[in-house]
Amino acid sequence: MEKPFFIFSESYSFISSYSFIIDLSWKCIDVNQFFTYKYQNNKSESGIQDHREYKAFGRQHWSLCLLCITIRGRLIWFEAKIIAMDASFSLIKYLCYPSLAILMTGCFENDILVQPEVIKDDDQLEVSLIESTEILLYNYFKDSLVTNGKTNFMVGSSNDSIRGNVNAISYLQFGPESAIRMNDEAQMDSVVLVLFYESFQYDTLPVFDLNIYELLENPEPDEYNAIYNFQTFEHRASPIVNKQVQALPHKDSLTVTLPYEFGHALFENSKSSSSIFNSNEDLEEEFKGLVIEALGNGPLLTFSETSYIGFYYRGSANIDQTNSQFKITVQSGTESFTNLTVDKSTGLLNGFASYTNIDAEQTSGAVMVDPLYESGIRIEFPEIQLLKEISESFFISSAVLHLPVKPGTYNNYFNTPAFSINVYTVDKSNQIIGSLGTVGMAAFDDQFQEQTYYEIPVKDFIDSQLSANYDNENALWITLPVSTTLTSRYLVLSSHSTQQKIKLDIVFLPLN
């Protein structure tokens, strides 16, 4: 029987193995028939001894025989499938074979994989799939990040072997939600700082030191109204609060009692007609704000701007009077920002300069997008122009970029990955020139970390590149979605198995 035509070379060794197994199965049967025949025609004592030896040897051959027959049956079924698919190869074989020859020696790792026929409206459509793994990936990061104007702030000091060691210190100003004036008989009982949790990154079990300083200088943004992560402003050398705390995710806030003397001085300035709580300007004459710092390896925490300083008081000296409260909030304050440093010397991007394309081959095949230093991922398809020859006879039905998440860089409890990304088109200088939208994670495998990946539809980008008359050096650009909050989640992408690799799958359909 004539062997079916197959484009990829592995099929020939497969067919050869098929013929070998068929021959072996028949030889197994011949051996056992020979032993049986010899015993029946020689029943002497020596013949019986021979049969005992042959019987053990024959049982082994029968086991091999049964295995070969089973495999032979499956191979016969598979060969029938191959013959059924043979017609599907004809159009590719005769119309596109020159183009395929080029592609097979180029960037397409698995060459051409032809899918079974698709029947539609009684017409047979030949569907072909090209899988490309010749994809260039680059890390890219900036040296500064705007951290003011956010609806949250970050506090924490954490060691991370992937992104590096992170240290976040918050500078907070407060303001009254409305003008406040106390009567002369009012008495303050206590003052507290209430920080409302927004997110937790890394293990919350460790106890860490929390230092709170009084700010002595108003944070001033630049002409673009920006304060950057590397900026600092003067504060008192000694903290007004130093205590050990533990982040408790089951609670909604972290409450710290502030010194009575600190609160009482502010409270007393609220009793006159020129109360410091009439406006932010009045308050900042006496109180610029607080600086909050965490020491030791602990979680990275973000807190909501609804956090506040609360004053508990009684309206008179009467001890039977019920306590009341007024508060000044971060949300009502003039400025708040996070001083944020990331020591990359312990992470994936150790030794690399900012504002440069860092080849993934220099980072063990991994690329990372991290909002803490505004990094992005550049993705290029250098051999995409070779598809033009096929596109003359076929059109692209779909194009999907498969991006696996690197195992060991995330978990669902302490280091949750980013579950959505923004995909843009950029020029050779990484300037954004278009958008492919926001893409959510296609699959999340927290248990085994083998099937966590993104799938990005990139048909529009591939079509635009094929329609260009020259290589314009455009690429895809991946970042995390723009947000009004500081986020600590990051994402590391990398091929890590034969099933989970960074690849581009393109499905073609014939034009006629």
Residue 413's pLDDT is: 83
Confidence of residue 320 (pLDDT cuts 50, 70, 90): low
Instruction: Please give the helix or strand (H or E) that residue 36 lies within, else none.
Output: helix 10-40
- Three-state secondary structure string covering 112-128: EEECCCEEECCEEECCE
Confidence of residue 95 (pLDDT cuts 50, 70, 90): very low
Q: Is 377 exposed, middle or buried (0-12, 13-18, 19+ CB in 10 A)?
A: buried
User: What's the average model confidence in pLDDT over 13-36?
Assistant: 40
User: What's the average model confidence in pLDDT over 179-190?
Assistant: 88
In the beta sheet, which residues pair with residue 338? 170
Residue 29's pLDDT is: 39
Question: Is the pLDDT score of 191 beyond 60?
Answer: yes
Question: Is the pLDDT score of 5 beyond 80?
Answer: no
Residue 315's pLDDT is: 79
Three-state SS at 289: coil
Whether this prediction's pTM lies above 0.75 is answered by: no
Residue 383's pLDDT is: 80
The Cα–Cα gap between 164 and 352 comes to: 13
Closest CA to 247 of 210, 214, 290: 210
Instruction: Yes or no: say if 175 and 283 are a contact pair by the CB < 8 Å rule.
Output: yes
DSSP string, 245-283: E---TTSSEEEEEPPHHHHHHHHHTTSSTT-TTS-HHHH
- 281-315 pLDDT, tens per residue? 999 999 999 999 999 899 999 999 999 999 999 87
Confidence of residue 96 (pLDDT cuts 50, 70, 90): very low
- 126-148 pLDDT, tens per residue? 677 788 878 999 999 998 999 99
Closest CA to 112 of 95, 123, 122: 95
Question: Is the pLDDT score of 55 beyond 80?
Answer: no
Q: What share of the chain is helix, strand, coil (3-state, %, to 5)?
A: 25, 30, 40
- 233-282 pLDDT, tens per residue? 999 999 999 999 999 999 999 999 999 999 999 999 988 777 899 999 99
- 484-505 pLDDT, tens per residue? 999 999 999 999 988 899 999 9
Residue 99's pLDDT is: 36
Residue 436's pLDDT is: 95
Average per-residue pLDDT in the chain? 79
Instruction: Please give the helix or strand (H or E) that residue 475 lies within, else none.
Output: strand 475-479
- 416-475 pLDDT, tens per residue? 899 999 999 999 999 999 999 999 999 999 889 999 999 999 999 999 988 887 788 999
The Cα–Cα gap between 259 and 257 comes to: 7
Residue 482's pLDDT is: 85
